[in-house]
Chain A
């Protein structure tokens, strides 16, 4: 079965640079969620999109922005990167109108900021 695809899988950036993470949801899933997991920490919700509109917002820094495109893929844009942004970034998707039925997570993008 198709899963959530994230790219790139690994990314190394310098401080103050920008980064773009991409997420391709499972086919026919219309909701996308972004989570950040720092070293030794639990995943933290950043932002979600339903039918290309922002549906919920968590602890996403102002330096970060995200959007969902017409093909339902999503991109997380991160600017003025800081050392503390080094983390695993997970994208998840869920089926239409069934947010309670489970989110399916991708393998994550490991971002390292030097």
Chain B
């Protein structure tokens, strides 16, 4: 399975944008880039996914590098409810969770 590398943790202030990076230099041509997040004591939650083009939805934006070896999840205005572990996952359907980035949001 292709591997992803994410920072262990990041901090942000409320109302500010957050850019969560993910490196995936061994990504294959058929791998989708998925982002999920997990709030404390809850199941993982789908955030966004993409293949080659940048994607936007109501939760976030996904910026994918032209060579697809990295991507960035963008939360446009962080809220306290966005504090969670964010997972960048490659593949099609089955999810292989790595370590993820713990996002801390301060008021």
A residues in contact (CB < 8 Å) with B: 31, 33, 35, 42-45, 48, 55-56, 58, 90, 92, 94, 99-108
| Contact, CB under 8 Å: A100 / B97 | no
Where chain A touches its partner, the secondary structure class is strand
13 contacts between A and B (CB under 8 A): A31-B93, A33-B94, A35-B44, A42-B97, A44-B97, A45-B94, A58-B94, A90-B43, A90-B44, A100-B93, A103-B95, A107-B42, A108-B42
Given A45-B95, A100-B49, A100-B92: A105 and B100 interface contact (C-beta under 8 Å): no
A-B contact count (CB 8 A): 58
- Min Cβ gap A23→B in Å is 11
B residues in contact (CB < 8 Å) with A: 32, 34, 38, 42-46, 49, 51, 87, 92-100
Residue in A56, A58, A90, A101 whose beta carbon sits within 8 Å of that of B49 in the complex: A101
| Contact, CB under 8 Å: A56 / B93 | yes
Residue of chain A at shortest CB distance from B47: A102
- Min Cβ gap B43→A in Å is 3
